[in-house]
Amino acid sequence: MGAIKAASGPEAPENPEQNGTGEKMKSVLVDIDGPLATITMNRPERRNGMDLDMVHAMHDTLATLATRRDVTVVILTGAGDHFCVGADIGGTEADPEAVTHRRLAPAYHSTTLLHTMPQVTIAAIGGGCAGAGLGWAAACDLRFASDRARFSTAFLNVGVAGDMGAAWVVQQAVGPARARELFLFPEKFGAEDALRFHLVTRIFPAATLLQESRALALQLAGRSAYALEAIKANFVAAERLSLEDFIELEGARHMHLIGSRESTAAFEAFAGRAGTV
């Protein structure tokens, strides 16, 4: 595995954003284990709140992973007790003079990458998930929550409308009426409500969230990489095409895969299992 370990435990530095050598810790960690990549937002002392370093590191990480054909599934999670509570409004970069649209514009497309990159993306959501953090979660193909997860759009609470494509991806996840409700009345809600709203599809105990998410990710990674990529591409295309145009595209992809060696092997394996029932 290619894990990058953060300082922790009794020997952790007094400044939680520095490691034992006084160097600033990485705000985004990546672990690649075969076909599975796990991205960890690593600012637990700020509840993984976003600063400029994190949002740019996230964009660069996703852009790199999107080009890797050996990685088929990506898990996005947060270090410590929280997923990501959105912008670090209490941080040193809370000054609007420092955080301009020009400086953030490239990083905004992290949401686009999570939603459209060839890999299946999974948000493993523990603790707080709010604001732009909710946007990143909603951009993922699958969202699994811990039983301690808490959600909020939060933007209106601080007098803004939202960024990181949050309104678009949340609307895709929960529908336009519910999305408007969540943005206009940004109260906190828990995992059970998130499940009821179709914002998440599974709830796990907090202690096993990452383990369960990883097990499901590995299950997916054992499938045909070409079929996984095509399924995701179909859903992305369906968001912009008419039904008539989509059926043409979907059919062409389907027939292309039917003739592939991977598809033939998968079909023969399935037929063999079916014959034993």
Tell me the torsion sign for CA atoms 57, 231, 218, 67. Answer: negative
Q: Which of 41, 40, 43, 38 is nearest to 18 (CA)?
A: 43
2: in domain: no
What gap in Å lies between CA 127 and CA 148, rounded to an integer? 6
Report the DSSP beta bridge partners of residue 29.
Answer: 40
- For the cut 60, the answer to whether the pLDDT of residue 255 exceeds it is yes
pLDDT at position 115: 98
Q: Is residue 3 part of a domain?
A: no
Q: Are 133 and 240 members of one domain?
A: no
Q: Are residues 94 and 72 in the same domain?
A: yes
Residues 191 and 235 in one domain: no
- Residue 71 is predicted with a pLDDT of 98
* 84 and 161 in a common domain: yes
In a domain, 184, yes or no: yes
Clarify whether residues 164 and 251 are in a common domain: no
Per-residue confidence (pLDDT) for residue 224, from 0 to 100: 94
**Concatenated DSSP letters of the chain:** ----PPP-GGG--SSTTB-TTSPBPPSEEEEEETTEEEEEE--GGGTT-B-HHHHHHHHHHHHHHTT-TT--EEEEEESTT-SB-SB-TTSTT--TTTS-HHHHHHHHTHHHHHHHSSSEEEEEE-SEEEHHHHHHHHHSSEEEEETT-EEE--GGGGT----TTHHHHHHHHH-HHHHHHHHHS---EEHHHHHHTTS-SEEE-GGGHHHHHHHHHHHHHTS-HHHHHHHHHHHHHHTTS-HHHHHHHHHHHHHHHHTSHHHHHHHHHHHHHHHT-
What pLDDT shows up at residue 99? 59
Q: How confident is the model at residue 141 (pLDDT cuts 50, 70, 90)?
A: very high
Write down the pLDDT at residue 9.
31
Tally the domains of the chain: 2
What local confidence, expressed as pLDDT, does residue 174 receive? 98
Residues 111 and 63 in one domain: yes
Residue 113 has pLDDT above 70, yes or no: yes
Q: Say what the pLDDT of residue 87 is.
A: 92
Smallest Cα–Cα separation from 1: which of 35, 44, 41, 42?
A: 35
Q: pTM of the full predicted structure?
A: 0.87
Question: Is position 253 within any domain?
Answer: yes
Residues 128 and 242 in one domain: no
pLDDT grade, residue 104 (50/70/90)?
A: confident
On average, the pLDDT of the chain sits at 88
In which domain, by residue range, is 113 found? 9-221
Same domain, 192 and 73: yes
What CATH number is attached to the domain comprising 133? 3.90.226.10
Residue 198: inside a domain: yes
Q: Does residue 19 fall inside a structural domain? A: yes
Residues 125 and 160 in one domain: yes
- 135 shares its domain with 17: yes
With bands split at pLDDT 50, 70 and 90, how would you rate the model's confidence at 234? very high
End-of-domain residue from the set 178, 199, 221: 221
Average pLDDT over residues 143-164: 97
Of 221, 241, 264, which one is at a domain's C-terminal end?
221
Query: Do 197 and 209 fall into the same domain?
Result: yes
| Percent of the residues in the chain that have a pLDDT greater than 70, as a whole number | 84
Interatomic CA distance for residues 237 and 250, integer angstroms: 9
**4 inside domain:** no
With respect to residue 177, please indicate whether it lies within any of the assigned structural domains. Answer: yes
Query: Is there a single domain that holds both residue 152 and residue 208?
Result: yes
Per-residue pLDDT band for 16 (boundaries 50, 70, 90) equals very low
